[in-house]
Amino acid sequence: MLRESCASPADWSACRAAIQTGSRSFYAASLLMPRRARAAAYALYAFCRDADDLADAQSGPTDPLATLDALEARLRAIYAGRPADHPFDRAFADVVASYRLPIGLPRALLEGFRWDALGRDYATIEELEAYAARVASSVGAMMCVLMGERRPDMLARACDLGAAMQLTNIARDVGEDARLGRVYLPADWLAAEGLSPADLRAAPQASPALARVIARLLDHADQLYARAEAGIVQLPFAMRPAIMAARLIYAEIGAVIAANDFDSLSQRAVVASARKRALASQALSALWRPGKPADLAAPAMAGAAFLVDIAAAATPPQTDRGWPWVMSLFLALGERDPARPLRLAYPHERRILSTQG
């Protein structure tokens, strides 16, 4: 029996607006995706961003752990096909059903948010990678599933890319995070420079010692970006430009930080729009850059291995017709020219369209 769509065209449009306003870097990269792929990516981004915003709320009497319990309940409802009355939940429910996205992946994301709520520090880079795996590599693994890619080596490289992006975020936000009482830099790296998480919380200020720690973190991220490229060039060809653009634009944040003498406390690194456009163009030429076989075959980060196992073991969708029907429906309803006849790619979309009035 065919499942009816949970989401309306307005829901899909709300997801698109969420990424357009919430992450200019990801939105710029998404414009290089095939139009059908964008809808799924926008729904994934919108739900994850909404969960992140709720988990990260710093004001009000709400217990952050209670908020995370509520997010877990929303996730269970999505997977039960009964999403909450929220545009992001309805759209994500369609993506989950269409792609058979395993619940362990978004659940890992919520676990990372729970680590934030508990105020964890990270003693080593390996512990920080385990955090990055949950809050970022999980999204990379989900994107891999949406692209129909479940090979372990490809999933491992997607996890590398997500973790590299998260490490870049951490390097960019050192000052902002410290003022909120959060320190993500590895404690042993700080100690090697005569610093500690407590010092950084008490008096967040730029220094040559802290700059060396930030530079070290960005160097580690660059290693992950380089390894991820071996997977990007193996993706379905239509998806490569967007993912390569995301990789280049995010790595450029690190370059801006370096140009600012690794000072992430008195200024925030921003990649100019013109530079993003140039990197998006560069992404097209990078698609023919061969990845290193050794990088593709490298094992997953220890902290992300469980994500690879979850995604690789999941049952793929039954359809072999490319992007699932719900994405075609979104495009037909939400982006068509009203003066032109509606053309649907799958026969059962006509039936579902009739339920939309």
Amino acid at 196: S
CATH value at residue 185 = 1.10.600.10
CA 231 to each of CA 105, 156, 208: distance values in angstroms, whole numbers, following the listed order: 19, 8, 36
CA 60 to each of CA 54, 64, 67, 113, 301: distance values in angstroms, whole numbers, following the listed order: 11, 10, 12, 18, 37
Q: Do 37 and 145 meet the contact criterion of CB atoms below 8 Å apart? A: no
Task: Tell whether 343 and 221 lie within a shared domain.
Answer: no
Task: Tell whether 294 and 186 lie within a shared domain.
Answer: yes
What CA–CA distance (Å, rounded) separates 81 from 3?
A: 9
Query: Per-block average pLDDT, block size 10, for the chain (357 residues)?
Result: 72 92 82 82 94 74 83 97 96 95 97 94 98 97 92 96 97 96 97 97 96 98 95 87 91 97 95 91 74 82 97 76 39 37 33 31
In a domain, 108, yes or no: no
- pLDDT at res. 127: 98
Task: Tell whether 38 and 81 lie within a shared domain.
Answer: yes
In a domain, 52, yes or no: yes
What CA–CA distance (Å, rounded) separates 210 from 205?
A: 9
Task: Tell whether 135 and 276 lie within a shared domain.
Answer: yes
- pLDDT at res. 233: 87
In a domain, 114, yes or no: no
Sign of CA dihedral 262, 265, 267, 273: positive
- pLDDT at res. 296: 86
Task: Tell whether 19 and 144 lie within a shared domain.
Answer: no
Task: Tell whether 265 and 147 lie within a shared domain.
Answer: yes
In a domain, 111, yes or no: no
Q: pTM of the prediction?
A: 0.86
CA 285 to each of CA 56, 159, 200, 214, 278: distance values in angstroms, whole numbers, following the listed order: 38, 23, 42, 30, 11
- pLDDT at res. 290: 64
Task: Tell whether 45 and 160 lie within a shared domain.
Answer: no
The domain total for the chain is: 2
The whole domain housing 289 covers 120-316
